Structure 1
Amino acid sequence: MARRPRQEPAAAPSAPVTVTVCRGCCCGSADKHPGVDHAGQLERLRAGVGGAGRVRAVDCLDVCGHSNVVVVGPSAEGRRAGGRPVWLGWVLSDDMVDDITAWVRSGGPGVVPAPGVLDLQEIKVSRRVRDGLPG
């Protein structure tokens, strides 16, 4: 009887960088940030990230004092390299959106450092809030 060659299991697809955009009670609010095109900002993130990651809008992330909040989660590669989700507050300008999309296209947390002034926008959140981030 002839032996069949052993097949290696297919590699699991690599999880991409995930950009989570808060669009709850304060973030995305024209009342709180009247000069910001919130819908346009979300579309610019989606277009800028393209196939390099995924962008999702979620309800309130419970850090309203820092609105508009964006969380950049590492890819599988970034997580293996020690990257963790980076919470950014006051994402209100086109330059910040451009920096976020450039970061995601370059590999994101754990792969490359955050560009521009994003490190100044990083916020620390409680474990309770962090653990409540929708999956």
Structure 2
Amino acid sequence: MSKRGRRAAPGPGATQPTVTVCRGCCCGSPKVPGLDHAAQLRDLRQGLVGTATVRVTDCLDACERANVIVVQPSAEGRRKGGRPVWLGLVNDPDATSDITTWIKDGGPGITDPPAILDLYAFRPSRRVQAELHDG
């Protein structure tokens, strides 16, 4: 059974990318030391104003990869083949900055992520993916 609460996922016609920031049991907590979690969220929100929707959710059931951020494509990005990109161990301000820059450039389906983000990308289980999208 999932530890996270169900939240409505953005519809397939979302005009902007959606950035889901996990802030559950491990992400955003003292379990991930050395990162100002509030500043990470603030930087994402401020850096993506007018470009993407940034939302916070409870546990995404990928605790071993805390902090987790999921970038969902815009409607245009989805039409061009973009799919959600799961990023884990996002515990460095430079990684947050790289994510912001990529999304400003279009995000999934529009622009390839910087190569450095390959180090953070992972595929969660089908169950976890479905829960995020089923809302």
Scaled to the shorter chain, the TM-score interval is 0.7 to 0.9
- Structure 1 alignment gaps of length 5 or more: 1-12
Paired residues in the alignment total 122
TM-score (norm: length of structure 1): 0.86
Distance 2:128 2:20 in 1: 14
Residue in 2 that maps onto 1:64: 63
| Larger RCO (CA under 8 A, 6+ residues apart) | 2
Distance 2:118 2:49 in 1: 23
TM-score (norm: length of structure 2): 0.86
Identity of aligned residues (%): 57
Q: Post-superposition, which runs of at least 4 consecutive aligned residues in structure 1 deviate over 2 A? A: none
Distance 1:116 1:48 in 2: 20
Deviation at 1:37, TM superposition (A): 0.6
Deviations 1:6-27 (A, max 9, x none): xxxxxxx852100000000000
Q: Secondary structure at 1:95's aligned position in 2?
A: helix
Q: Which structure has the bigger radius of gyration?
A: 1
Contact 1:99 1:116 in 2 (8 A): no
Q: What code does the residue aligned with 2:131 have?
A: G
CA RMSD of aligned residues (A): 1.3
Residue in 2 that maps onto 1:54: 53
